Amino acid sequence: MNFFEQQRQAKNQTARLINMMILSIVMLIGLTSLPFVFSGFEDYLSGTGSLLDAFMALGVIATIVGGIVVIGGLLKYRELRAGGKVVAEKLGGRWLNGFAMTPGEKRLMNVVEEMAIASGSVMPAVYLLPDQSINAFAAGFTPEDAVIGVTQGAVTQLTREELQGVIAHEFSHIFNGDMRLNTQLVAVVHGLLVLGLSGGLLMASLLKGGKRDVRLMLLALFAGFLLCLAGFIGNLFGNLVKAGVSRQREFLADASAVQFTRNPQALIGALKKIGAQGSSISAARAGEYSHLYFSTGVSTTLSRMFATHPDLSVRIRRIDPQWDGQFTVPSAQ
């Protein structure tokens, strides 16, 4: 496996997806402004307005629409900036730093320390989740407030080398800034949702209002409908892009894990055991953080286009193209 080439491809694909999202948002803002621009040009052609007024209308409405997206995104961004400790505690994690008791917990802490050195990262807080499935996650906004969470199943059913592969994967998310990138993408998608909700509220308030100029009311209703449509289409497309970025970052983390451990079979072994046993997280709010997990932690009926993780078979074959397609039933270590 050429892990440097795999990393380059994943980073390039991430950049293309993000550029696509930026372009789409600009186009949505422009399309939403069109009714007001058409109205300004209509006044200009009828002699009741100037061409400058039409272009000013474009600028004002585009600024308002863009402002809604930005404000909605910033509010969500602020909410998500809470440290990784918040995520770990909501998933039922128990803090291990300085409190590791069993041999398995002590082995986990040793592996995290080893991978911190290998990746050049600071030692994060480590949390143990009670689930007997095999999974892990990295959460936080910066390396300084990052945490790594590992399930009890991963501690008891993975070999030391396999555990190293999983932890190295999570350190890649910290090292490559994936947590910050994901936070930014979630905020943008939320801003687009707020845009759609704003359009719905505008239409509802107009329909409840009293008599007013019919032409202006129809224009405002159309603008509200366009806001609503643009917001929800943008939110749908944004979620597609976010899922695509998340899958690319998983490929990047796999390649980085191989780089850190220099042992492709360690990561492959963990993925094979997950394929046989599963990786479900039982916490009530597990679905909210599914994009953070080493492997899909919740069942979903959504299209693969919205999946936050690549299929396990695809991940394994990226590392080992000669894989025979068989998963491995885990046993206690």
pLDDT in tens, 309-319: 999 999 999 99
Q: So what's the pLDDT on residue 233?
A: 85
Query: What's the one-letter identity of residue 84?
Result: G
pLDDT band of residue 45 (cuts 50, 70, 90) is: low
Average pLDDT over residues 252-278: 93
Q: Which contiguous run of DSSP H or E holds residue 125? A: strand 125-129
Three-state DSSP class for residue 226: helix
Q: So what's the pLDDT on residue 223?
A: 72
Q: So what's the pLDDT on residue 38?
A: 63
Average pLDDT over residues 55-66: 77
The Cα angle at residue 231 between residues 225 and 233, in degrees rounded to 5: 100
* DSSP states of 172-196: HHHHTTHHHHHHHHHHHHHHHHHHH
Domain map of the chain by residue range?
3-82+179-246, 84-178+251-319
Tokens of 234: 């943008």
Percent pLDDT > 70 in the chain is 86
* pLDDT tens digits for range 271-298: 999 999 889 898 887 887 888 899 987 7
Exposure string (b/e) for 276-287, b if CB count within 10 Å is 16 or more?
Answer: ebbbbbebeebe
Q: So what's the pLDDT on residue 83?
A: 73
Residue whose token pair is 């850190």 = 260
Q: Which residue has the higher pLDDT, 79 or 113?
A: 113
pLDDT band of residue 160 (cuts 50, 70, 90) is: very high
Q: So what's the pLDDT on residue 278?
A: 85
* pLDDT tens digits for range 190-241: 888 888 888 888 777 767 765 566 766 776 677 778 778 888 888 888 888 8
CATH number for 84-178+251-319 (one of 2.40.10.10, 3.40.1800.10, 3.40.50.1220, 3.30.2010.10): it is: 3.30.2010.10
Average pLDDT over residues 50-74: 78
Q: So what's the pLDDT on residue 169?
A: 95
Q: Which range is most confident: 2-6, 50-54, 113-117, 140-144? A: 113-117
Q: Which residue has the higher pLDDT, 289 or 103?
A: 103
> Which of 121, 92, 117, 97 lies closest to 108 in space, CA to CA?
97
Q: So what's the pLDDT on residue 162?
A: 96
Pairing assessment for the beta strands 125-129 and 136-139 based on DSSP bridges: unpaired
Cα(156)–Cα(228) distance, integer angstroms? 50
* pLDDT tens digits for range 113-136: 999 998 888 899 999 999 999 999
pLDDT band of residue 333 (cuts 50, 70, 90) is: low
Percent pLDDT > 90 in the chain is 35
In whole angstroms, how far apart are CA 43 and each of 26, 166, 214, 226?
A: 26, 64, 16, 21
Active site residues: 170
Give the total residue count for the chain. Answer: 333
Q: So what's the pLDDT on residue 141?
A: 80
Q: So what's the pLDDT on residue 39?
A: 58
Q: Which residue has the higher pLDDT, 196 or 81?
A: 196
Whether 47 has a pLDDT exceeding 70, the answer reads no
Average pLDDT over residues 64-84: 83
